[in-house]
Structure formats: C-alpha cells, structure tokens
Amino acid sequence: MDERPRLLEVDMLNVHLGTPRRLILKDVGLAMTAGETLGLVGESGSGKSTLAKTLVGVHRPSSGSIRFGGRECLLAKGKERARLRREIQYIPQDPYSSLDPRRTIGETIAEALDPRRPRVSAYRQRIVELLECVRIDGSSLDRHPREFSGGQRQRIAIARALAVEPSLIVADEITSALDLSTQAEVLNLLADLKRSMGLTLIFVSHDLAVVRSISDSLLVLLHGEVVESGSAQKVFDAPASDYTRTLIDSAPGGPGFSLD
C-alpha cells in the first residue's frame, strides 16, 4: 500500500452532458500521488476527455468529489477556484486550442507566466528557458505556431503548461495526431521532465502501447465506467477485466489494430 499523501482523489464522479442530458461518466474514482504518471486509456467515446475536462473544471459533475491537495475542488470559489485552475493544466490534442495562432509563442508563454501583464520583454529569459526545456530553440520566441511542426507545437504547448508551474498536467491525446517518430520524441521529453521536475501527469490516450511506455499506473474506461485500475505492471501482468485483456492482446501493433 502506498503511504505517500495523495495529490488527487476522485470519488463517485458522475457527469451528465448534452441535451437531453446523458450520463457520460458513472461513479468514476481514482487516486494519484505527486510524481506519478497515470495513464487513462479507453476506446474513442469511452469518456476520457470528459473525465480530463471535468478535472480541470470545464465540466461540472452532477455528483461526486474531486479532492486536490486535500481540498474539495467542487466547492472552491473565487480566488481558490482560480488558483486550482492554474494548479491543474490541460493540454489538448489540437495545440491550436492552447496556442493562439495569432500570437507569437513568446506572447503565449508570457500570458501563462503573468496573465495580467503578459510582456515578452519582461520575461524573455524565463521564456527562453522554458522553450529550451522542451528542446525548442529559445531564439524562436517571436515566431507563430504555424511556423512549427506538429510535434514542435505539442512541445510548445507543454512549455506553456509548465510556465504556470502546475502541480498536475493532464495531457489529452497529445501524441495521437503525430507520426510514430514524433510521438516518440514527445514521449521521451515527458519521461525526461518526469525525472528532472517530478512532473505529475495524467496521460490520456486510446493507444495502450503508448500509455504503457510512460505510465506508473493505469485507469481503463469503458462506456464511462472504470473497468480496471492499478499499477501499470499489475494491470499488464494480470488484468482484472476481459476488456483490458482484449486491449493488451491487440496492443503490440497487431494486424490492423486501432481503437479509434
């Protein structure tokens, strides 16, 4: 049993979305300690993004609890709510939703560093450091997102998230649109940041092989319910559900394998 204090504890989370309202997440629970990477897996439509977005406050659950650093997020208001919004950073699949195409990447990072007075000139040194942290040439801070490749844009999105100094990063399918070698670059970068910064990460993907390479623990969703959770090793060695077994058996690049 892990005795380290929990950073995030989710209990009996139920989320309804749409009109008419439909139950998307059913009694979802999870727990994470600082420094851990949790892989969130499941086929397309299983509710991964809904869970990720609920954790960062985009969706309001109909019941359940989300405790972060011992505080109940769902009760937070005003300044505390704003602080929690910064503590948990979301990186979407499409970097254009986190990187404004009209702004230079320096401006975007300055905004993350200081939303009230986002001046590149005042933060140049820190912006360069952050870009170099994700292996982007610091001198390119005056460029726009379109001038970078897909993999570079995702690394810039990671730098933007790091700028906020969050306690938790939720990366939602950030490698899914990338080719295999670029995918590996981003995964290696995340693994390095984990080691060097003690990053705590929820890594969301429909691709079990990708998740396996980076996760300490796993949570498998099926139709909005948790069908499996535990250490990555335990889940791979002895999956509790038939569904996870099927995922594992088909994962190592089997013929025509795809969940999406």
Give the footprint of ligand ADP on this chain (CB under 6 A). 17-18, 24, 42, 44-50
Stretch that binds Mg ion, among 12-20, 45-53, 97-105, 212-220 (CB under 5 A): 45-53
**CA–CA separation, 44 and 121 (whole Å):** 43
Contact 66, 102 (CB under 8 A): no
Q: Choosing among ligand ADP, Mg ion, none, which partner's interface includes residue 46 (Cβ < 5 to 8 Å by kind)? A: ligand ADP
Element (H, E) at 32: strand 22-33
Alpha helices in the chain (DSSP H): 48-55, 78-87, 105-113, 120-133, 150-163, 180-197, 208-212, 232-237, 242-250
CB of 259 to ligand ADP, least distance (A): 9
Of residues 85, 67, 38, the one with CA closest to residue 204? 38
**DSSP strand pairing (37-41 vs 217-222):** parallel
**Residue number with CB closer to ligand ADP (20 or 254):** 20
CB of 10 to ligand ADP, least distance (A): 15
**Residue number with CB closer to ligand ADP (111 or 172):** 172
**Residue number with CB closer to ligand ADP (18 or 253):** 18
Which pair of structure tokens corresponds to residue 146?
Answer: 């379109």
Stretch that binds Mg ion, among 27-35, 46-54, 115-123, 186-194 (CB under 5 A): 46-54
CB of 47 to ligand ADP, least distance (A): 4
Of residues 201, 236, 242, 175, the one with CA closest to residue 52? 201
Q: Helix, strand or coil for residue 34?
A: coil
Stretch that binds Mg ion, among 23-31, 47-55, 77-85, 195-203 (CB under 5 A): 47-55
**CA–CA separation, 48 and 24 (whole Å):** 10
Question: Is 49 among the residues that bind Mg ion (CB under 5 A)?
Answer: yes
Distances, alpha carbon 113 to alpha carbons 94, 254, 259, in Å: 21, 44, 37
**Residue number with CB closer to ligand ADP (24 or 163):** 24
CB of 248 to ligand ADP, least distance (A): 18
**Residue number with CB closer to Mg ion (111 or 207):** 207
**Residue number with CB closer to ligand ADP (133 or 202):** 202
Stretch that binds Mg ion, among 41-49, 132-140, 145-153, 236-244 (CB under 5 A): 41-49
Contacts with Mg ion, residue ranges (CB under 5 A): 48-49
